[in-house]
Amino acid sequence: MVSSPANRIRFIISGMVAVSAQWSGKTVVSYYLTLVLDGVGIKNPTHQSLINGGLKVFNLLATVGCGAMLVDVLGRRRLFQWSAIGMTVSYVIWTILNSRFDGTGSASFGYAVIPLLFISYFHYDMALTPLLYSHPTELFPYEWRSRVVVFALIVTNIVLIIGQVCNPIAMAYLGWKY
């Protein structure tokens, strides 16, 4: 799989897609949504559960409705670019709102984070959810596709393990800044 320069580049792209899908910030939100919502003043467990449930249904609809349907229309590169730009912009606004909530304690800044959860997930769902495994398999010839999926799964799980160890420590020390 790494015998030619073109295959080495494909291999690197497959690894980068796996890493970027996990280190895009979604693992922090997925695993620590309660802490994220606590950090912006939403501490009611019922409200947190409703936001979490709504986010999961929204993710399904966004992935199938936009991500999977737009691949052939926009192409993979454009979806990845749109996804990266959308997540970056939403995270910048989200961070500003978290900072303002932390400084003022105003509930309106905390509640403004909720739509940004959905907006950032929408941009993640349009590219990284449907293309995480389908894009690497399309890069390689048929006989190597299963190996590339195994490689992408290994990279994904290694990155997840690192995140599971580092994220709680970083969140404890840095809070919203992380």
Hey, what are 105's tokens?
């304690």
Task: DSSP letter for 178, please.
Answer: -
Residue 178: band (very low, low, confident or very high) from pLDDT cuts 50, 70, 90: confident
Q: Where do the domains of the chain lie?
A: 44-132, 140-178
Hey, what are 15's tokens?
């690894």
Q: Per-residue pLDDT tens for 90-133? A: 989 988 998 898 888 888 888 898 999 999 999 998 888 888 87
Q: Are 176 and 97 in contact (CB under 8 A)?
A: no
Distance CA(87)–CA(89), nearest Å, equals: 6
Location of structure tokens 């959860």: 117
Instruction: Look at 79 and 26; give whichever has higher pLDDT.
Output: 79
What is the three-class DSSP state of 141? coil
pTM: 0.83
Q: Determine what percent of the chain is predicted with pLDDT higher than 90.
A: 26
Q: Are 102 and 176 in contact (CB under 8 A)?
A: yes
Q: Per-residue pLDDT tens for 133-176? A: 788 888 888 888 888 889 999 999 999 898 888 888 887 888 77
Q: Which residues contact 103 (CB under 8 A, 6 or more apart)?
A: none
pLDDT at residue number 154: 94
pLDDT at residue number 87: 92
Task: DSSP letter for 76, please.
Answer: H
Q: Are 20 and 14 in contact (CB under 8 A)?
A: no
